[in-house]
Structure 1
């Protein structure tokens, strides 16, 4: 992973864009949405940028780029169709210690911009490190089709409740469990009004429906990660503790919830001891099993009692 993903706060910060054409227009539109104060230096502007300048939404320095213009900017974009000029902007910015992006020239970029999906406060970013923009656009379209439209409403509600939930639930673990239950509620998922969310919020707080309960999900991982079922993946993402056999491929472990605790086990007796500890702590546990055989199944039955294994979707053999 060459590029470290982050979201950079540009609200009320000065950004310089060198160039006034179509490429600059695309970048400036996004910069304005983030609240940046945009200044464009160019002898002329395309119609869209000219309209922004006439409405005082951007500042326009009518003329050619000069090194002295870069002072006091936190970010610089070089968007011209002149590679020599773009590289000069890059060199000047680097000497001044300012972040710079030369559009469509990743070797002269301190940062690159991902393909974005915006749902109000919710932003989903996709990047191939500049290597395959068409593939990234295809991924974005796929996700746009499945992400619910009320994400903005949900995010605004949760933001408004940040102080209130801390008062009602002082413990950080309780708050996490509450929000997980809240966002997983079917009524919340379908909500399109704030009043519905408020009603669900108050009812869950009053009933304590979010309190942790000990549970164990047994998942047979198999040899092909892509054959894992959607149900198994969903439960892996809901786990608080992941107990994985020491032969399990890391792709399965990494696909569990990011902040879940992880511990490996080698034999069934050590697994049983770990499960007893998790039961005392009322945790939701996922046990990742290697491909099942009669010996392993018998050992698990003797030590752990009855259990149901979620198996990966095996391909049919013709």
Structure 2
């Protein structure tokens, strides 16, 4: 992974954009949506940008670029001109001042790159190939857009509005996590189009007790991650502890919940001892094992075993 993914808070932060053409239009539109304070440097700008300037949404320095316009107040610089030499000059000036810089469509001169974005209100999904294949990323975005529900923004807004009340009702992080997992899995919540529907489901579910108990799921793995079933992925995202052998490929473990604890086990005896401890605790455990092996059959008694997805 060459690029570290993050979402940068640009609200009320000064950003410099050198250039005023079509590329600058796209970048500035996104920057303004994020709340950035944008300064444009260019002798001429596109009609769209001129309208933004007239509306007071951007500041325009109507001149050719000079290093004097770049100061340490800017936290981000974009070079969007069609002149590579000028763009590289902007890059050099930004680097000397320790400012993050992006020279559009010139990856070696970028401290960061911008992913393809999918937005549903407060929900943002970013997709990137690290600049390797923009067309592939576009195709992936289209596929994801097609399956995402339109009410995601409504759900996110409702969840944000309950941050304080849910803490009063459920004091621990684990209880709140389990509540929200159950809540967002409710059919009426998945299909909700109004806040009233969400509120009714919220109040009703709060009245139901949350039982904390030990849950152990065994998931078979091989070297083809595409055989991972949706059921297994759901279990992996809910697990609080992940146990795996050395033979388990990292990509399987990496798909588990980010804040889940991960433990390596060497053999069945060690795993059996650990399971005896865990089954006395209210913890959700995911165990990776090779397919069609009898080495762990005695330990699996009473637990759920999820095999590989069928290729037929």
Q: TM-score range by the shorter chain?
A: over 0.9
Q: Is the 8 A contact 1:268 1:300 kept in 2?
A: no
* Superposition pairs of residues 86-125 of structure 1, within 5 angstroms: 86-125=87-126
Could you tell me which residue of structure 1 aligns to residue 297 of structure 2? 300
Structure 1 residue aligned with 2:309, among 292, 310, 313?
A: 313
SS in 2 for 1:217: strand
Q: Which structure 1 residue ranges, 5 or more long, are not aligned? A: none
Tell me how far apart the structure 2 counterparts of residues 188 and 29 of structure 1 sit (CA, whole Å). Answer: 33
Tell me how far apart the structure 1 counterparts of residues 303 and 36 of structure 2 sit (CA, whole Å). Answer: 56
TM-score, length of structure 2 as denominator length = 0.93
> CA shift at 1:63, angstroms?
1.4
> CA shift at 1:62, angstroms?
1.2
Could you tell me which residue of structure 2 aligns to residue 200 of structure 1? 201
Q: CA deviation digits over 1:45-104, x for unaligned, max 9?
A: 111112212222211111111111112322111111111111111111111222211111
CA pair 220-141 structure 1, distance change in 2 beyond 3 A: same
Structure with the largest fraction of helix: 1
Q: Is the 8 A contact 1:272 1:304 kept in 2?
A: no
> CA shift at 1:314, angstroms?
4.8
Could you tell me which residue of structure 2 aligns to residue 132 of structure 1? 133
Cα-Cα RMSD: 1.8
Tell me how far apart the structure 2 counterparts of residues 98 and 305 of structure 1 sit (CA, whole Å). Answer: 58
Could you tell me which residue of structure 1 aligns to residue 245 of structure 2? 245
Q: Which structure 2 residue ranges, 5 or more long, are not aligned? A: none
Could you tell me which residue of structure 2 aligns to residue 36 of structure 1? 36
Could you tell me which residue of structure 1 aligns to residue 86 of structure 2? 85
SS in 2 for 1:40: strand
SS in 1 for 2:164: helix
SS in 2 for 1:247: coil
Q: Is the 8 A contact 1:223 1:291 kept in 2?
A: no
> CA shift at 1:2, angstroms?
1.8
> CA shift at 1:5, angstroms?
1.1
> CA shift at 1:139, angstroms?
1.2
> CA shift at 1:315, angstroms?
4.4
> CA shift at 1:307, angstroms?
4.8
SS in 2 for 1:97: coil
Q: CA deviation digits over 1:270-306, x for unaligned, max 9?
A: 323222222211222222111213x42xx523x4435
Give the aligned length: 311
Q: Deviating runs (4+, > 4 A) in structure 1? A: none
Q: CA deviation digits over 1:125-161, x for unaligned, max 9?
A: 1111222111111111111111111111111111111
> CA shift at 1:247, angstroms?
2.4
TM-score, length of structure 1 as denominator length = 0.91
Q: Is the 8 A contact 1:216 1:285 kept in 2?
A: yes
Tell me how far apart the structure 2 counterparts of residues 150 and 81 of structure 1 sit (CA, whole Å). Answer: 40
Q: Is the 8 A contact 2:15 2:75 kept in 1?
A: yes
